[in-house]
Amino acid sequence: MSDLAGKVAVITGAGRKNGIGAAIALRLAREGVDVVVTDLCAPPDSDAPNPGVGQWPELQEVADLVAAQGVRSLPLRADVTKPQDVKDMVAQVMQAFGRIDILVNNAGVVFGPAPVAQMQPDAWQKTLAVNATGVFLCCREVIPAMLAGKAGGRIINMSSIAAIRPRPYLASYAASKAAVIALTQSLAQEVAAAGITVNAILPGDIETGFKQWGLQLESAVFGQSYEAVYQRTVAQIPVGRMGQPQDVAHVVAFLCSDEAAFLTGQCYPVTGGRELSSAPLPRSQ
């Protein structure tokens, strides 16, 4: 994929070294892409779910790992739910690099997972604000820069298997990720004539800190050991293993390449076939 060399990518939610965003950043860097990594970098005492939010020192470390691949890198703090933050982020990227060719909307969280009848409205709104509104705001600000460059572009939006296989207690997360699919398909039609493709990726069970947190919650809800929950999850994946962040990163790299120029408005599950499984959740003990 040598056609990626010299392009500039912006990746949100890339502040965790073991996360999907960091894996995407490193994968693109190895293709010669200059990479901007962003994250909320919320203070530890904030109400942001820590498993899904990188801290500034870790974001800087990810940027250093990117730079070690021989490309330029830039770490930026940005709250994707705030229009001015997103506008400032894009302005800083344009000032530093003069272009944006790739946008990967990877930032994602879930606040207060609970049954719908017990879910707090604030938790619902905060989850949708990051996962859906954040994608909208980033696309809204980056597209003019791509259009001005007159060289097309690639937008990759991170949805989830939860969008097509929702699970109990995660209605806000599932709804937000389904919204990402609808946004992707609508936007793809709007910008196709300008050579900008827009696609969504639906990760399944990917071995990250965020997934570990989710398995721990499931363990507590169903009164089972973490190991039992982990093994049951793996048993529902036809390929017989958890996904790795690199599995997602490889698909992103392909969708960013010229080889994927005729693909837009599509959804790509990266699940090991997990959505094909119909194994039910256990009852609470």
Catalytic residue annotation: 173
Q: Which residues contact 131 (CB under 8 A, 6 or more apart)?
A: 107, 108, 109, 173, 176, 177, 179, 180
Alpha carbon distance, N-terminus to C-terminus of the chain: 51
Our CA dihedral for 154, 159, 164, 166, rounded to 10 degrees, sits at: 180
User: How many CA atoms within 13 Å lie on the side-chain side of 23?
Assistant: 17
SS3 (DSSP) at 269? strand
Structure tokens at 268: 């790509």
Q: What are the C-alpha distances in Å from 242 to residues 198, 208, 211, 277, 283?
A: 27, 10, 10, 14, 23
Helix, strand, coil percent content, the chain, rounded in steps of 5: 50, 15, 35
Cα four-point dihedral sign 25, 31, 256, 85: positive
